Amino acid sequence: MYMERQMGTIIKIQNISKTQKSLGLFVIVSTVCFLVYFNEYRVSEIELKPCKLMTLNPWDESLKPFMKNEPPIICSNREQLMFVDKGFLRFNETVMEKYQIDTRFVKCFYSNLKRNGGDKDVIFEDEVKFVAPIFIKSHVFRVRCVDVNDNEFYDYLHFNPVWNNDAKMADDVENESESKLSVIIVGIDSVSRSHAIRNLPKSYRFLLEEFHAYDFEGYSKVGENTGPNIFPLLTGQSNRNFPFVLHLRKHADALPLLWNEKVVKNNFATFFAEDGNDIAVFSGTGKSGFKDQPTDFYFRPFGLGTRKFEPMIIDLLGKASEFCYGTDNYLELEIEYMKGFLMRYQSKRKYAFIWNNQASHESFTTLQHEDNRLLEFLKWMQYTNQTKNAILILLSDHGYRTGGSSLTHIGRAENNKPWLMVHVPEYLKRKYSWIHETMLQNTKRLLSIYDIYQTTFDLVHDVAFTKQKNASMIGNIIRRNIFYEIPRERTCLDAGIEKRYCMCDDKMPVSTDNGFIYSLAKFLVNEINNILSKYQSECNILSLHNVTEASVTYSMSDKDTFGRIPNAPKGILNKLLSNFKTKQDQTGRYFILFHTNHGNALFEGTVDYAEFGPKGIKNEMTMIEEPFRLDRYGNQSYCVEDSFLKPFCYCKNFKQHL
């Protein structure tokens, strides 16, 4: 009994220890989230300056080495044996004959696809034998066929837009009209305005000449990558406001997404398609996604289904990749899915958002091969009258971001200036006489994704063209409806654009051939090593290799040292003597590109330098946010799991690991 009690006591102590560890971990995570997301945001003078827009040349000389005409990625040279037409699954008789397959002697089966408890998995139900043509009572389904000898020759995933038990019936959706508009948003990852001009010339021209779309030159990103720019589009808020969804695996269902607005839920048909299962904004690696299906038409189950088996047309076509599923690339599939949605709800109110990663995310050259595909879709929309009572928006989140062109000065500027074009039906311009001139004017003004949210919010609530009320404010951000004038003196703070992405300051180039700039770069490298300090056994200590570029911005307060800085020299005599100093006061904000040893990593970092810091410390340096990695680092950081650390860590045994 004594031993049993002792063992029980030990187990209790162990359980208490585990509980304490779990509680401690929770406290640490909660503290980090609080510091990162809720700490008071320090506003810079750059963000408070009225914006002077930078004009970018899409054909800048420095970009020529990256403007290559490379062959398109061919998914498969096989031709599709089956297709869905108005809900009926049919054989492509011409192709069947070409492949010498007699449809009279084949056996085919379909199995419905179902979400399996959320956004992470799908399952297939039992197979049902059928004879084509047949109306398939399933939204997404796998089709498998065998020949007379039971040899499998077809295995493919299809969708039927006509049948969707998880979507509203068309009769339950409000009709479109001149006062009851739809919103259709087409987004492609990593496309700057300049990149669209270079690589989508046919689509760009068609949008201007046929859709009379407005081309916004002052549109700026608000965050580094996709998530920080898509969250504001759909919620009107920074992704920083939702740390539990981003980092603690809370489901995204309760987010204040625009399609969750009561008016949209009750009166609109809704659509959300995103490719790239692993990098999806709400459902990618490390996130839980949606527990329940978020919109009437939702592409993710189909995307997950493509990873469940290797497709076959006569022979195996290879596993689904980031670019292709079988014979199709993902932009093709998303477009076909959206076409089915638009036709099912023809003349009904719709809120539709398509987001494509495949076309441009991984390479600077692949977007050019999507021009014809996008153009065909735009022509189809015009021919089928999809935009008669709809606002059509084409946009991106940022420019090309890693490696290649992004390492040039103009490439980094393009990264901050994504693509945005907006089509407005002609009758609205006639009905509201101010719209055309105001929109033209706004194409030259500073705006952000927060404004697109506000505009779409007003559209679904039928107040987009009523007398403009006070602009909606969230903290320092003022969300503005783009159908009304955006102030010429607008600031980055007003638009919600973080300081490192604010393109409204005048940067001056600085020679890298001096010790001062190298001291700033070494300071940044030391700060990176401080970030990695707890992982010294896994990651190499970095050192400065070289500095490739530097620039600086000054503000009036930088020069006003005397009287405002403790311990700085004071008095009239010191002021007079300072005028005769041979050494110039170098106080300012510096932007530095530098390489580190180990992996030849390229970073861009920002340092505030003060001859006398705010507390009187001489030659004070302050890192402004963490440096960000500009080149690709592949698997160099395989030894750490934290995605925040991966751009900085070069694993000690990386070469042995290879």
**Whole-number Å distance between alpha carbons of 252 and 118:** 11
Give pLDDT, residue 656: 52
Token pair, residue 587, equals 């106080």
Give pLDDT, residue 82: 96
Token pair, residue 470, equals 């006070």
Burial of residue 471 (CB within 10 Å: 0-12, 13-18, 19+) is: middle
**β-pairing, 312-313 with 152-159?**
antiparallel
Token pair, residue 96, equals 């069947």
What percentage of the chain exceeds 90 in pLDDT?
66
Residue with tokens 């490298």: 525
CA distances from 568 to 226, 272, 581, 614 (A): 44, 58, 15, 10
42-64 pLDDT per residue, tens: 566 667 777 778 788 899 887 88
204-223 pLDDT per residue, tens: 999 999 999 999 999 999 99
Q: What are phi and psi of 385, to 5 degrees?
A: 65, 35
Token pair, residue 27, equals 């406290």
Give pLDDT, residue 187: 97
- Is there a domain that residue 434 lies in? yes
- Residue 616: pLDDT band (50, 70, 90) is low
CB atoms < 10 A from the CB of 634, how many?
10
**Whole-number Å distance between alpha carbons of 595 and 547:** 6
CA distances from 212 to 18, 383, 424 (A): 64, 15, 8
- Is there a domain that residue 244 lies in? yes
Up-side HSE of residue 222: CA atoms within 13 Å toward CB?
A: 29
**Mean pLDDT to the nearest integer, 524-540:** 95
- Is there a domain that residue 322 lies in? yes
Question: Residue 519's domain spans which residues?
Answer: 508-657
* Last residue of one domain, picked from the residues 467, 501, 535: 501
Give pLDDT, residue 643: 84
Q: What is the CATH number of the domain that holds 633?
A: 3.10.450.10
Give pLDDT, residue 624: 81
Q: Are residues 413 and 559 in the same domain?
A: no
Q: Are residues 562 and 641 in the same domain?
A: yes
Residue (of 643, 166, 229, 616) closest to 397 by Cα position: 229
- Is there a domain that residue 37 lies in? no
- Is there a domain that residue 67 lies in? no
Report which DSSP code applies to 34.
Answer: I
Whether residue 263 is predicted with pLDDT greater than 60 in this model: the reply is: yes
- Residue 37: pLDDT band (50, 70, 90) is very low
* Last residue of one domain, picked from the residues 443, 468, 501: 501
Could you tell me if 595 and 548 are in contact, meaning their C-beta atoms sit under 8 angstroms apart? Answer: yes
- Is there a domain that residue 138 lies in? no
- Is there a domain that residue 369 lies in? yes
Q: Are residues 180 and 236 in the same domain?
A: yes
- Coil, helix or strand at residue 146: strand
**Mean pLDDT to the nearest integer, 296-325:** 95
**Mean pLDDT to the nearest integer, 245-250:** 88
* Higher per-residue pLDDT: 378 or 46: 378
Could you tell me if 508 and 517 are in contact, meaning their C-beta atoms sit under 8 angstroms apart? Answer: no
**Mean pLDDT to the nearest integer, 557-573:** 43
Q: Are residues 186 and 58 in the same domain?
A: yes
Whether residue 556 is predicted with pLDDT greater than 70 in this model: the reply is: no
- Residue 17: pLDDT band (50, 70, 90) is low
Q: Are residues 330 and 284 in the same domain?
A: yes
- Residue 609: pLDDT band (50, 70, 90) is confident
Q: Are residues 371 and 455 in the same domain?
A: yes
| β-bridge partners, 347 | none
Q: What is the CATH number of the domain that holds 464?
A: 3.40.720.10
Q: Are residues 541 and 423 in the same domain?
A: no
Burial of residue 485 (CB within 10 Å: 0-12, 13-18, 19+) is: middle
**Whole-number Å distance between alpha carbons of 240 and 246:** 9
Q: Are residues 419 and 471 in the same domain?
A: yes
Q: Are residues 459 and 514 in the same domain?
A: no
Could you tell me if 345 and 164 are in contact, meaning their C-beta atoms sit under 8 angstroms apart? Answer: no
In sign, the C-alpha dihedral spanning 597, 599, 600, 602 is negative
Could you tell me if 411 and 186 are in contact, meaning their C-beta atoms sit under 8 angstroms apart? Answer: no
Could you tell me if 333 and 166 are in contact, meaning their C-beta atoms sit under 8 angstroms apart? Answer: no
- Is there a domain that residue 111 lies in? no
Whether residue 629 is predicted with pLDDT greater than 80 in this model: the reply is: yes
Q: Are residues 475 and 611 in the same domain?
A: no
* Last residue of one domain, picked from the residues 501, 517, 534: 501
Q: Are residues 484 and 512 in the same domain?
A: no
**Whole-number Å distance between alpha carbons of 59 and 256:** 40
**Mean pLDDT to the nearest integer, 623-634:** 88
450-492 pLDDT per residue, tens: 999 999 999 999 999 986 666 777 778 999 999 999 999 999 9
Whether residue 34 is predicted with pLDDT greater than 60 in this model: the reply is: no
* Higher per-residue pLDDT: 240 or 503: 240
Whole-prediction pTM value?
0.81
- For residue 201, the surrounding DSSP H or E stretch is helix 201-209
- Residue 619: pLDDT band (50, 70, 90) is confident
Whether residue 4 is predicted with pLDDT greater than 80 in this model: the reply is: no
Token pair, residue 524, equals 């940044």
CB atoms < 10 A from the CB of 244, how many?
13
Total domains present in the chain: 2
Q: Are residues 301 and 351 in the same domain?
A: yes
